[in-house]
Each structure stands twice: as structure tokens, then as C-alpha cells.
Amino acid sequence: MTEPQTLTKLIVLYMLDKVDGPLTKAEIYDFILEKEYSNYFTLSQAVYELTEDGFVESSATHNSTYLALTDDGRDTLTFFHNRISEGIKNDIDVYLDENRREIANRMSVVTNYYRIASGEYVAELAAREKSTELVNIRLNMPTEDSARAICEHWRDASSDIYSFILEKLL
């Protein structure tokens, strides 16, 4: 394994270790490519290998791919974190701190939709606070467009809908 690829893998692991949930692939790629710590090819290969080797879990929704650190990834980072310079660690910490609110908001509201055997679509909507799921709703929708629209509006309406449900049920 080449040194740039090793460093790229360690940067990805470090970023994932510093958050309380998954990051989107786009968040990781944007940071690493903007700071020019890696090129796109090396980064893509590193993420692929981390996933294949079980250090990172990958999950996809209709519009994003999420990456999360596994226990094996955390153990590996523990052994090799000293190979990441303090400057890079500081850049990561600053980036995550500056984007903490957006990352937390994205992690707290999750959506997905998929087609079922009947030809309809199911829109899955969830709201979380830290690692606790507050609400999880599945709605059958007649078309992909309606399922997508429900998912797109959930981010803005989830707090009001959750409050409404609690008010009506308590």
C-alpha cells in the first residue's frame, strides 16, 4: 500500500471517529479534496478498500451514500492515528466543528424511499436525537414522485410533525 493511500484511509477513519454517526460520502470527499490531501482516484480507492476490509460500513439512500466507522476501523485507527499529522487532525477538527450543526441536522432527519412489489413506493421518514430514534414513519405512496416529494419535505416539517403527534397522543 502506498503512503498517500494509507494516509487517505487514516484521514477517513479519523473523520468518522470524530462524529456520533455516519458522514455522507460527499462530506468526506469535499473536505479531503478541498484540502488537497488526496486526489479523487486515490480517495475513491481508499474508501472502497476500507469498506471491503470491514473498517467502514456503507449504506445508500435515494440521494446519499453514508459511511460509518466499524469497531475494526476504530481499532485500526487506535494503532495508527499517530501517522496523521497534528495539522491534518486540526483541519479535520475545525471542519467538523464549523459544520457540526449541518452534520447534526442531517443525521437527525433521515429519509429513504423504495419501490415495493405492488408497484407503489414506500417513503421512510425518521427523526433522531443523538443515537435515539424519536419517530419512524413509513408511508405507502402511489408514485415515485410522491415518495420523493414526501422525503424532501420531511427535513423541514419533521419537528412540527413530531410535536403534533406528541400533542395529539399525550
Q: How many CA atoms lie within 13 A of 149 on its CB side?
A: 7
Q: How many CB atoms lie within 10 A of CB 115?
A: 11
Tell me which residue of 158, 160, 154 sits closest to 141, measured CA to CA.
154
Q: Where are the domains of the chain?
A: 3-98, 107-169
List CB contacts of 50: < 8 A, sequence separation 6 or more.
9, 12, 13, 56, 73
- pTM, two decimals, is 0.71
Consecutive 10-residue averages of pLDDT for the chain (170 residues): 83 94 90 95 96 92 82 95 94 92 76 92 86 87 94 87 90
Distance CA 159, CA 74 (A): 33
State residue 62's pLDDT score.
65
100 near 110, Cβ under 8 Å? no
9 near 50, Cβ under 8 Å? yes
Indicate the residue type of 164: F
State residue 107's pLDDT score.
66
| DSSP structure class, residue 117 | T
DSSP string for 35-50: TTSS-HHHHHHHHHHH
Indicate the residue type of 130: K
State residue 1's pLDDT score.
45
Domain 3-98, architecture per CATH: Orthogonal Bundle (1.10)
